[in-house]
């Protein structure tokens, strides 16, 4: 376990080495949130609520969804693709650790870094500019914390799956991009799932995506409370467990037919 | 005890080929032509604990593929490998704890962070105790002279500096078996010498087994008593470096530089009863007699030539290992 914790630390150091990226990142996220704020205000017009969310809840939803994204989002799929394409994965395989486990830890290191150096300061800036509604309820915060950890794992497992496909496809840049857009849309980052047409909400119930953004954001904005929130967490946990299976299966097959590129 | 036992090892790759032309490209979308190519073709060898073995061959002979199978990265198509008493691929995580690997062309340090941070992570990864680490690594760091580099990020190191750090990183857990895949590629003479000295030292001190692939045969000459030579996936020679020389190093060359103008025909006439072939390097006016291993002939050639002309310089050359190996590659089989 020691080595995995150490990896989180190393990742932290690596992020610090390129910290300027993150100052610009905060700016970009703030602009994004601002744009959505005005967009939603226009949509709401004079209406007090749409689909059970008030305008204030909606802007909070958007702000929180983007800030949570900073935590669960990582580029390990792209990194894996690069490591596999360039043959660096050979070096990873001569180390006494689990490659996928290490990748997850790197993602977590990145996530923690962004949470502290990006989400929190970003949220403060956004809260100063736009009216947001923060819950005073302690349990909401705890549920939210658990929920974004679970969303991190769901998103990371999907990233691992996409990353592993490089072993079979050799070049999967397109797939990685498609996956990112798909997640941003279906996870409820751009639009809460409750705004989707009924039939697509039905389908979405059977997909892991809403566990990434919709559930934690709804918990935070008190859109889900009590048993609904617990149900959401259970659904997330179930997806974390289910996704282990395809990741492991694909990994075993990938290792068997691994070819190291470039000598 | 054998550190490495390889038995009938074989690795096949699918080599895809593209059809020509636009219609060919469309057909390639659906079905692709491929051939099964063996990169390593049923090879067997053993390496004893504490041996230093040079593993050589042309580009594409299958050296790296073998090393990748021995280190558990690739799965063999068929055949058995036992390294340090384990099956590398099956027990990968436990197995890699007992080996160190340096890939000359790939860095295993983390690019953006200081060298010492990489070391610290590796120390945790290999579960090395502080006491062991301090005792062993202090020595390694001193010998490789990398103390001043430790707080620099890897991307700021020169190639020679990086290679020394790579070597140190591969030795953090003091493995009994070390794989070096072209460790001296692109390095200057001084760094090469330092690395060789160091490898010799750890081999003596810890009885570390070293398997080394390289294109620089001086590495092999300096370090290895035994060489395994690979050609198109087959072992074509496995034995002492010395007997390779004896078996293949035919003949000697004697080069003369004369003070006065010499004549090739005259020289040929002088030695026509001996086994000698004269060549002339027009540019430098160096006359070279190629002869067999017969020492009598060598001394006769020199005696007669010196008697006929005034000589500025004489050199007797034996073919170098490099020439011998080039010879073997060109002729194909040993």
Nearest CA in chain B to A94: B96
User: CB–CB of B117 and A13 under 8 A?
Assistant: yes
Measured in angstroms, the CA of B253 and the nearest CA of chain A are apart by 38
Reference B200, options B182, B224, B164; nearest CA is B224
Chain B environment of A96 (Cβ under 8 Å): 93-94, 96-97, 125-126
Cα B272 from Cα B252, distance rounded (Å): 17
What is residue A58's predicted lDDT score, i.e. its pLDDT? 86
What is residue B141's predicted lDDT score, i.e. its pLDDT? 92
B226 DSSP β-pair partners: B53, B240
What is residue A261's predicted lDDT score, i.e. its pLDDT? 60
Chain B environment of A2 (Cβ under 8 Å): 124, 127
Strand order, beta sheet including B33-48? B33-48, B2-17, B78-83
Nearest CA in chain A to B123: A3
Which residue among B64, B74, B121 places its CB closest to the CB of A6?
Answer: B121
What is residue A156's predicted lDDT score, i.e. its pLDDT? 95
Q: Are strands B286-291 and B252-258 parallel, antiparallel or unpaired?
A: antiparallel
SS3 A239: helix
- Whether A99 contacts A93, CB under 8 Å: yes
Fold of the CATH domain B2-246: Rossmann fold (3.40.50)
What is residue B334's predicted lDDT score, i.e. its pLDDT? 46
Chain A environment of B106 (Cβ under 8 Å): 87-88, 90-91
Which of the residues A11, A90, A109 would you substitute to probe the B interface, choosing the one with the greatest number of B C-beta atoms within 10 Å? A90
Q: Are strands B33-48 and B52-57 parallel, antiparallel or unpaired?
A: unpaired
User: CB–CB of A259 and B126 under 8 A?
Assistant: no
| Phi/psi of residue A152, nearest 5 degrees | -60, -45
- Whether A66 contacts A40, CB under 8 Å: no
Q: Rounded to an integer, what is the distance from CA B12 to the centroid of its chain?
A: 23
- Helix A20-44 vs helix A120-129: angle between axes, to the nearest 10 degrees? 40
The arithmetic mean of pLDDT across residues B15-28, rounded, is 84
**A31 touches B at CB < 8 Å:** no
Q: Rounded to an integer, what is the distance from CA B185 to the centroid of its chain?
A: 10
- Eight-class DSSP state of B114: B
- Whether B212 contacts B223, CB under 8 Å: yes
Percent of chain B beyond pLDDT 90?
A: 34
Chain B environment of A94 (Cβ under 8 Å): 71-73, 96, 99, 101, 108
Reference A36, options A59, A55, A53, A54; nearest CA is A59
Nearest CA in chain B to A12: B113
Q: For B142-167, how does the pLDDT look when each residue is reduced to its tens digit (9 = 90+)?
A: 988 999 999 999 989 998 899 999 99
Q: Centre a 10 Å sphere on the Cβ of residue A132 and count the other Cβ atoms it contains.
A: 20
Q: Any idea what the Cα angle at residue B66 is, between residues B18 and A260, rounded to 5°?
A: 45
Which class is B251-318 in CATH? alpha beta
Residue ranges in chain A modelled with pLDDT below 50: 263
Cα A13 from Cα B112, distance rounded (Å): 9
Mean pLDDT of chain B: 86
| Phi/psi of residue A250, nearest 5 degrees | -65, -35
User: CB–CB of B96 and A94 under 8 A?
Assistant: yes
**A39 touches B at CB < 8 Å:** no
Measured in angstroms, the CA of B293 and the nearest CA of chain A are apart by 40
List C-alpha distances in Å: B333 to B44, B243, B285, B326, B327: 17, 16, 35, 11, 10
Nearest CA in chain B to A260: B74
Nearest CA in chain B to A4: B125
Residues 6 or more apart in contact with residue B32 via CB below 8 angstroms: B16, B17, B18
Lowest mean pLDDT among B29-33, B190-194, B325-329: B325-329
Q: Where in chain B is the domain with CATH 3.30.70.1150?
A: 251-318
pTM of the full structure: 0.81
B178 DSSP β-pair partners: B100, B210
The arithmetic mean of pLDDT across residues B220-244, rounded, is 87
Measured in angstroms, the CA of B64 and the nearest CA of chain A are apart by 7
Which of the residues B125, B171, B172, B173 would you substitute to probe the A interface, choosing the one with the greatest number of A C-beta atoms within 10 Å? B125
Given a cut of 80, is residue B323 above it in pLDDT?
no
Given a cut of 70, is residue B249 above it in pLDDT?
no
Which residue among A3, A17, A260 places its CB closest to the CB of B74?
Answer: A260
The pair of three-digit structure tokens given for residue B201, joined into one six-digit string: 């030292």
User: CB–CB of A14 and B125 under 8 A?
Assistant: no
What is residue A262's predicted lDDT score, i.e. its pLDDT? 53
**A49 touches B at CB < 8 Å:** no
Which residue among B68, B96, B153 places its CB closest to the CB of A96?
Answer: B96
The arithmetic mean of pLDDT across residues B35-44, rounded, is 89
Which residue among B73, B94, B101 places its CB closest to the CB of A260?
Answer: B73
Which of the residues A10, A14, A94 would you substitute to probe the B interface, choosing the one with the greatest number of B C-beta atoms within 10 Å? A94
Cα B101 from Cα B29, distance rounded (Å): 39
Question: Residues, chain A, total?
Answer: 263
Beta-carbon pairs below 8 A across chains A and B: 70
B318 compared with B228, residue with greater pLDDT:
B228
The pair of three-digit structure tokens given for residue A238, joined into one six-digit string: 């179930």
Q: Centre a 10 Å sphere on the Cβ of residue B286 and count the other Cβ atoms it contains.
A: 15
Which residue among B71, B73, B124 places its CB closest to the CB of A2?
Answer: B124
Q: Is the dihedral of CA A206, A207, A210, A212 positive or negative?
A: positive
Domain residue spans in chain A? 2-256
Which of the residues A21, A83, A96, A262 would you substitute to probe the B interface, choosing the one with the greatest number of B C-beta atoms within 10 Å? A96
**A226 touches B at CB < 8 Å:** no
Measured in angstroms, the CA of B113 and the nearest CA of chain A are apart by 6
Reference A163, options A260, A259, A263, A254; nearest CA is A254
Highest mean pLDDT among A6-20, A50-64, B199-213, B216-230: B199-213
ipTM of the complex: 0.78
Chain A environment of B92 (Cβ under 8 Å): 93
Percent of chain A beyond pLDDT 90?
A: 32
Q: Where in chain B is the domain with CATH 3.40.50.300?
A: 2-246
Q: Centre a 10 Å sphere on the Cβ of residue A170 and count the other Cβ atoms it contains.
A: 12
């Amino acid at each position: 376990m020691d080595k995995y914790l150490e990896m989180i630390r190393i990742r932290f150091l690596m992020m610090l080495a390129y910290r300027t990226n993150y100052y610009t990142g905060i700016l970009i996220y703030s602009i994004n949130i601002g744009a959505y704020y005005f967009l939603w205000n226009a949509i709401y017009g004079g209406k007090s609520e749409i689909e059970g969310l008030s305008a204030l809840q909606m802007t909070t939803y958007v702000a929180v969804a983007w800030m949570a994204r900073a935590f669960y989002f990582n580029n390990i799929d792209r990194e894996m693709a690069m490591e596999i394409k360039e043959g660096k994965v050979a070096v990873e395989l001569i180390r006494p650790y689990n490659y996928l486990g290490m990748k997850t830890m790197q993602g977590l290191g990145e996530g923690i870094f962004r949470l502290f150096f990006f989400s929190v300061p970003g949220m403060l800036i956004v809260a100063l500019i736009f009216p947001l509604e923060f819950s005073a309820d302690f349990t909401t915060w705890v549920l939210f914390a658990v929920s974004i950890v679970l969303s991190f794992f769901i998103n990371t497992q999907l990233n691992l799956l996409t990353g592993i496909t490089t072993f079979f496809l050799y070049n999967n840049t397109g797939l990685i991009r498609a996956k990112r857009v798909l997640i941003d849309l279906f996870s409820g980052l751009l639009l809460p799932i409750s705004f989707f047409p009924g039939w697509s909400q039905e389908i979405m119930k059977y997909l892991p995506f809403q566990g990434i953004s919709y559930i934690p954001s709804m918990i935070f904005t008190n859109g889900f409370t009590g048993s609904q929130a617990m149900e959401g967490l259970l659904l997330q946990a179930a997806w974390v467990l289910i996704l282990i299976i395809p990741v492991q299966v694909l990994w075993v097959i990938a290792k068997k037919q691994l070819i190291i590129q470039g000598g | 005890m054998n550190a490495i036992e390889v038995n009938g090892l074989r690795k096949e790759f699918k080599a895809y080929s593209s059809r020509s032309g636009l219609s060919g490209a469309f057909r390639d979308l659906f079905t692709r032509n491929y051939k099964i190519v063996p990169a390593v073709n049923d090879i067997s060898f053993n390496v004893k604990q504490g041996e230093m073995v040079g593993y050589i061959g042309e580009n594409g002979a299958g050296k790296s593929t073998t090393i990748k199978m021995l280190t558990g990265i690739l799965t063999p198509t068929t055949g058995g490998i036992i390294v340090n008493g384990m099956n590398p691929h099956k027990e990968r995580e436990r197995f890699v704890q007992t080996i160190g690997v340096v890939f000359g062309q790939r860095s295993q340090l983390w690019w953006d962070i200081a060298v010492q941070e990489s070391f610290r992570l590796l120390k945790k990864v290999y579960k090395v105790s502080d006491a062991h680490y301090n005792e062993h690594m202090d020595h390694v760091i001193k010998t490789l002279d990398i103390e001043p580099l430790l707080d620099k990020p890897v991307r700021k190191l020169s190639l020679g500096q990086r290679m020394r750090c790579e070597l140190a990183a591969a030795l953090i857990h003091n493995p009994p078996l070390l794989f070096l895949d072209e460790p001296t590629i692109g390095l200057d003479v001084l760094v090469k010498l330092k690395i060789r000295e160091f490898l010799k030292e750890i081999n003596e001190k810890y009885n570390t087994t070293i398997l080394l692939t390289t294109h620089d045969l001086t590495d092999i000459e300096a370090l290895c008593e035994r060489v395994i030579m690979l050609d198109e996936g087959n072992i074509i020679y496995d034995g002492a470096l010395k007997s390779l020389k004896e078996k293949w190093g035919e003949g000697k060359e004697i080069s003369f530089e004369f003070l006065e103008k010499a004549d090739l025909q005259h020289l040929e006439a002088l030695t026509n009863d001996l086994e000698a072939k004269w060549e002339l390097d027009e540019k430098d006016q160096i006359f070279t007699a190629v002869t067999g291993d017969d020492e009598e002939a060598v001394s006769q050639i020199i005696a007669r030539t010196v008697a006929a002309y005034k000589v500025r310089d004489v050199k007797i050359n034996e073919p170098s290992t490099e020439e011998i190996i080039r010879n073997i590659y060109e002729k194909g089989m040993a």
